[in-house]
Amino acid sequence: MAVLDDIREKLIDGDMNGVKEGVNQALEQGVEPAKILNDALISGMTQVGQLFEDGEFFVPEMLVAARAMQAGVAILKPRLVEDDVKPIGRVIIGTVKGDLHDIGKNLVAMMLEGVGFEVVDLGTDVTPEKFTDALTEHEAQLLGMSALLTTTMPAMRAVIEKLKEAGLREKVKVMIGGAPVTQNYANEIGADIYAPDGPSAARKAKQAMG
């Protein structure tokens, strides 16, 4: 679809205004918000990652692409998240210590809101202490962690250990995700739920509430 190809190209170019215009145009043309998200924004960002891996893009290009993506997501958000949904539970979410990637975590947070969770977003570079403190403060039923770097994945295990130490492990379901994270890793560190993407995170989180 031409409009989606155009958004993807603008995102790769880091053209924030171009992405915004493209997203608005696609919505005017009646393209489903979820299709714009998956086939233009997420797909464009995947190409950015590939270009980085191939040595054609560097951190500044990734950063401007990320800003352009966030601007596009902000337009879609109200259409992806239903209003007036009764909370089905409370979730604490954050990107683990040492990791600054937040686009995927923000999407997951948005989708959790979309199925009716109240979301407390701790942001990025979240220490194990901050996760456990937030859990005590907000009495959440679910704790979500995101990691995009192989070097920051071990921080997920550290959070689970911290929960055990604080006597909180049995009180909360732990969900993890992020590009390098797998079901095997979730099993290894004793997380309850692994989700590969936003929609599955929302579905599995909802299921976990019983």
DSSP letter for each residue of 115-137: TTEEEEE--SSB-HHHHHHHHHH
**Within the chain, where are the H helices?**
2-13, 16-28, 33-36, 43-53, 59-80, 103-114, 128-138, 154-165, 183-189, 198-208
Nearer Cβ to ligand B1M (26/181): 181
Among 17, 24, 29, 46, interactor with ligand B1M by CB under 6 A: 46
Phi, then psi, of 87 in degrees rounded to 5: -55, 135
Per CB under 6 A, does 52 bind ligand B1M?
yes
Among 39, 99, 113, 121, interactor with ligand B1M by CB under 6 A: 99
Per CB under 6 A, does 175 bind ligand B1M?
yes
Phi, then psi, of 148 in degrees rounded to 5: -110, -10
Per CB under 6 A, does 146 bind ligand B1M?
yes
Per CB under 6 A, does 101 bind ligand B1M?
yes
CB 194, min distance to ligand B1M, A: 8
Burial class (CB in 10 A: 0-12, 13-18, 19+), 70: middle
Per CB under 6 A, does 107 bind ligand B1M?
yes
Nearer Cβ to ligand B1M (15/99): 99
CB 133, min distance to ligand B1M, A: 18
Token code pair at residue 199: 């929609």
Phi, then psi, of 157 in degrees rounded to 5: -60, -40
Stretch that binds ligand B1M, among 5-13, 133-141, 165-173, 176-184 (CB under 6 A): 176-184
CA distance 117 to 100: 24
Per CB under 6 A, does 40 bind ligand B1M?
no
Which of 124, 116, 179, 165 has the alpha carbon at shortest distance from 142? 116
Per CB under 6 A, does 149 bind ligand B1M?
yes
**Which residues bind to ligand B1M, rule: CB under 6 A?**
42, 45-46, 48-49, 52-53, 59, 62-63, 66, 93, 98-105, 107-108, 144-146, 148-151, 175-180, 195, 197-198, 201
